[in-house]
Structure 1
Amino acid sequence: MTSRTATDEASFYSNAEDYWKEISPTVDGMLGGYGSISNIDINGSKTFLQRFLGDGEGKTGSGCALDCGAGIGRITKRLLLPLFKTVDLVDVTQEFLDKAKTYLGEEGKRVGNYFCYGLQDFVPESGRYDVIWIQWVVGHLTDDHLVDFLRRCQKALRPNGLIVIKDNVSYEGVIPDEVDSSVCRDLNIVCSLVRRAGLRIVHQEQQKNFPKELYQVHTLAIR
């Protein structure tokens, strides 16, 4: 890595951290002003995830989940805590994790850990998780760091565990966002990075009924 590349990478991450520090710790803040889509998002995710959960051969357990880029715990509260015995949260912004402790209410007692890390630096515990949910955050990782993180996630899965990426997808190529210091990749690129990590996509679908002005959003189940 050249010094110029290292400098660019450092600013890519620090600019994103600075951006999120200025965002309100609310559902609307987590969703960029589109708090109204939260129910549609959660319902789509629940339908997607429940096809993998349950008893029987090849089914994913419901012991422990990890919410990556968790923010104030919107997904933890509405999707993961109703389906799993324990949930861990990881986010780069401490204020969001502090807010989560009140936002999650009584059910928050079943949160195991609040980790304050960027995903490029986070090492999940080996063999701990049935599901690792990664939503609207892969654009904050460089290609190499995303591949490395997915490899670490694979080691953190329990038998028949599942990694889920749900994120914006561009129509072609990589589109940078200077405002929040992220990128939006097309589906072929995301899939190629998954394969580079030594993983395979077992199911993929597009989220329906989001406002037309938003990027298309795809959900990938990965093992």
Structure 2
Amino acid sequence: MTDFKTRPSARARKQRNFTKMEDHVMQSETAFYSKAEHYWKEVPPTVDGMLGGYGSISNTDINGSKKFLQKFLGEGKGKTGTGFALDCGAGIGRITKRLLLPLFRTVDLVDVTQDFLDQARMYLGEEGKRVENYFCCGLQDFNPQPECYDVIWIQWVIGHLTDDHLVEFLRRCRSGLRPNGLIVVKDNVAYEGVIPDVVDSSVCRDLNLLRSIVSRAGLNIIYEEQQQNFPEEIYQVHTLALR
């Protein structure tokens, strides 16, 4: 799953702003997740579908991510290896194809929608031979193999997890890292509090809440930056490197 959020009006922000995720999830967790799964099953398995009709920003997104990630890769003390990466909420493999496969020898994909993973096998083409696993699983239930990955990339998907499940998932990701491994979270951030999206059953958190969740997971933010040159009508997108 990959998607980003357009900004609501100021009036809508005021009416729909919450201070924590649990205020939004008044329904059962099961319904929260099942509604999201149903939404994504109706989305066409294309780049434009993955980006909510904003397929034109894909190059900007990938270029920004590549510059961010290359700060950490290489040889030497504290550098992150380039052997194995995990693409979380991978969709049809847009990020795997454009960002991860060019930089890593092997990549795994995980997504909750089997149709997207089936499409990924074709979309990735010849380079897809370097994909080892296609995991069909929600991130709230996904358990990375311990000490397996150099980089775990998590983009435009954390809004589909409750706060507690996101904390637990990040903890499992931490255990899934090789020495000097890196978790990267790239996502929309709200201006204040938590903004729900009833269409795709997700939320958008502000940076303070996201930083608090990272801390609860026992991780540190070692670098953070805002993605530039995105359309003004979408929420700001920030990228965080975690260890």
Aligned with residue 106 of structure 1, among 113, 126, 129 = 126
2:67 is aligned with 1:47? yes
Tell me how far apart the structure 2 counterparts of residues 16 and 175 of structure 1 sit (CA, whole Å).
16
- Hey, what does 1:176 align to over in structure 2? 196
Question: How many pairs were matched up?
Answer: 219
CA apart distance, 1:138: 0.2
- The change in CA–CA distance for 1:10 and 1:135 in structure 2 (over 3 A counts) is same
Matches within 5 A, 1:1-223: 8-223=28-243
Q: Which amino acid aligns with 2:103?
A: L
1:34-59 Cα shifts (integer Å, max 9, x gaps): 00000000000000000000000000
User: Larger relative contact order (C-alpha < 8 A, sep ≥ 6)?
Assistant: 2
Q: Which amino acid aligns with 2:148?
A: R
Other structure's SS at 2:234 match: coil
CA apart distance, 1:191: 0.5
After the TM superposition, list the runs of 4 or more consecutive aligned residues in structure 1 that deviate by more than 2 angstroms: none
Tell me how far apart the structure 1 counterparts of residues 172 and 99 of structure 2 sit (CA, whole Å).
23
CA apart distance, 1:8: 1.7
RMSD, matched Cα: 0.9
Tell me how far apart the structure 1 counterparts of residues 53 and 147 of structure 2 sit (CA, whole Å).
36
Structure 2 residue runs of 5 or longer lacking an equivalent are 1-24
Q: Which amino acid aligns with 2:194?
A: V
Structure 1 residue runs of 5 or longer lacking an equivalent are none
Tell me how far apart the structure 2 counterparts of residues 82 and 187 of structure 1 sit (CA, whole Å).
30
Tell me how far apart the structure 1 counterparts of residues 71 and 138 of structure 2 sit (CA, whole Å).
30
**Identity among equivalent pairs (%):** 77
Tell me how far apart the structure 1 counterparts of residues 101 and 51 of structure 2 sit (CA, whole Å).
20
- The change in CA–CA distance for 1:172 and 1:96 in structure 2 (over 3 A counts) is same
1:118-160 Cα shifts (integer Å, max 9, x gaps): 0000001001100000000000000000000000000000000
Q: Which amino acid aligns with 1:166?
A: K
Tell me how far apart the structure 1 counterparts of residues 146 and 28 of structure 2 sit (CA, whole Å).
31
1:49-94 Cα shifts (integer Å, max 9, x gaps): 0000000000000000000000000000000000000000000000
Q: Which amino acid aligns with 1:32?
A: G
Q: Which amino acid aligns with 1:77?
A: K
Tell me how far apart the structure 2 counterparts of residues 175 and 7 of structure 1 sit (CA, whole Å).
16
Q: Which amino acid aligns with 1:34?
A: Y
Q: Which amino acid aligns with 1:147?
A: V
Other structure's SS at 1:126 match: coil
Other structure's SS at 1:211 match: coil
